[in-house]
Amino acid sequence: MKMKKYTAPTMVEAMAKVREDFGDDAVILSSNVTKTKGFLGLFSKRSVEVVASYDKTNDQRIYETPVRSAPQQLAKPESVERIQREMREIKQMLHDIKPSDRSFDKFPDELLPVLKKLQAQGLDHEYIMEIGNLIFNRMKQDKADYAEDQQMAIVHEWLKERLQDIPFGGISYQKKFINVLGPTGVGKTTTIAKIAARALLEERKKVGFITTDTYRIAAIEQLRTYANLLQAPVEIAYNEEDFHAAIEKLKDRDLIFIDTAGRNYKEAKFVDDLKNLIDFSLEMETYLVLSTTSKEQDMETIINRFEKLPIEKFIFTKTDETNSVGSMFNLMLKNRIGMAYFTDGQEVPEDLTEADVEKVLALLLEGDSHA
């Protein structure tokens, strides 16, 4: 019979080592959780100690025949049933074991809740590791553990610093045309109605609409409904000629909102169609609407498709339909494009928030879009 002691950060990793040496029929004699101090006596770490054995002679578990020669009795006969049950559970664990994310192993336990919160929010792994290193280094420098609110203050500081050169804020009211792009299903038409309603009610602007979404009758009717509530005209543009005719009809308006077709903009040809229809040389602000419920990789693909168009800022929708908004920060930081608005519901014009750094940080760190 062979016997060996294993030490690992978690039980899963300890079991992986046992399985590697003894296979699925190993017997766990004992297990114990220990906690040790780290650097300068601080930053405690938990570890698991497991003693396992394997009888090569007959592959019988040692608890089925009491080991009388052992210096200490490892298990009483009445505990055999319990141990066998535990062994079955551990054996199943060994079968189900998957490689674990070891990237946080370098950090103390006190830091893990904050890092895992950022991970759950979908913040890019590279950014999380930078934040973790920053907090850990400050803890070592001060020779003290930081409470979670102190750690979150450092996270806030790190993100704010990296967002300081990225533009935030809604439409400028300096340009006549507000062009809103985005794929199908992101809530583009409702978002346009919210922005237009704010312009009408708060800034007393005369607004009008042009829709190029001629593929869906429902989309046109939806925009007409909003326009009627705002007592604003709507023009439909099927082609470039119609587009310029609509501009002429709406020339008395202070702001003209352009509702483009929702298409699968992962395909380049639909972006080319937009270029051929809309005159981007006009006095125009262009915004790209993305849904926070979409996969970040898909959103990145769409952004890349629009890279040759003058995207002013992002508008992120459906923040009330997801618990993870880290993708907003990833996309802004990687593309150096800011945010104009984010939405958190269907009410017009209420569920629209003009973005600034503190509001979007609250959305990530506190889960409160209006902090």
Q: What does the pLDDT read at residue 323? A: 84
Give mean pLDDT, residues 320-328. Answer: 89
pTM above 0.85, yes or no: no
50 vs 270, residue with greater confidence: 50
149 and 289, same domain (yes or no):
no
**Domain assignment present for 74:** yes
Average pLDDT in the chain = 80
pLDDT for residue 39 is more than 80:
no
Nearest by Cα to 84 from 1, 28, 162: 28
Question: Which residue range(s) make up the domain with 121?
Answer: 109-163
Beta strands in the chain (DSSP E): 2-8, 27-36, 45-54, 177-181, 207-211, 234-236, 255-259, 284-291, 311-317, 338-343, 352-354
The string of pLDDT tens digits covering residues 235-270 is 988 888 898 999 999 999 999 999 887 666 666 667
* pLDDT tops 70 at residue 165: yes
Three-state DSSP string of 206-264: CEEEEECCCCCHHHHHHHHHHHHHHCCCEEECCCHHHHHHHHHHCCCCCEEEEECCCEC
In a domain, 291, yes or no: yes
Average pLDDT over residues 153-179: 93
Q: Is residue 149 part of a domain?
A: yes
Q: How far is it, in rounded angstroms, from Cα 226 to Cα 335?
A: 33
Q: Please indicate, yes or no, whether residues 201 and 275 belong to a single structural domain of this protein.
A: yes
Token readout for 55 is 């009888």
Shared-domain flag, residues 148 and 252: no
pLDDT tens digits, 330-355: 999 999 999 999 988 777 777 899 99
Same domain, 234 and 142: no
In angstroms, the first-to-last Cα distance of the chain is 63
CATH of the domain at 246: 3.40.50.300
Kindly state whether residues 360 and 219 are assigned to the same domain. yes
pLDDT, residue 139, reads 86
pLDDT digits (tens, 9 = 90+) for 114-156: 999 999 899 999 999 999 999 989 988 888 788 888 999 999 9
* Same domain, residue pair 116 and 194: no
Confidence of residue 17 (pLDDT cuts 50, 70, 90): confident
- Side-chain half-sphere exposure of 59, counting CA atoms within 13 A: 3
pLDDT score for 16 = 80
pLDDT of residue 78: 53
Tokens of 246: 């609509």
Last residue of a domain, one of 96, 117, 151: 96
310 lies in the same domain as 343: yes
Indicate whether 370 pLDDT > 70: no
| 300 falls within a domain | yes
Which carries the bigger pLDDT value, residue 275 or residue 250? 250
- pLDDT range class, residue 63, cuts 50, 70, 90: very low
Task: Answer whether residue 103 is part of any domain.
Answer: no
Could you give the number of structural domains in the chain? 3
On whether both 349 and 218 belong to a single domain, the answer is: yes
Within-domain flag for 370: no
- d(CA 181, CA 263) in angstroms, rounded, equals 10
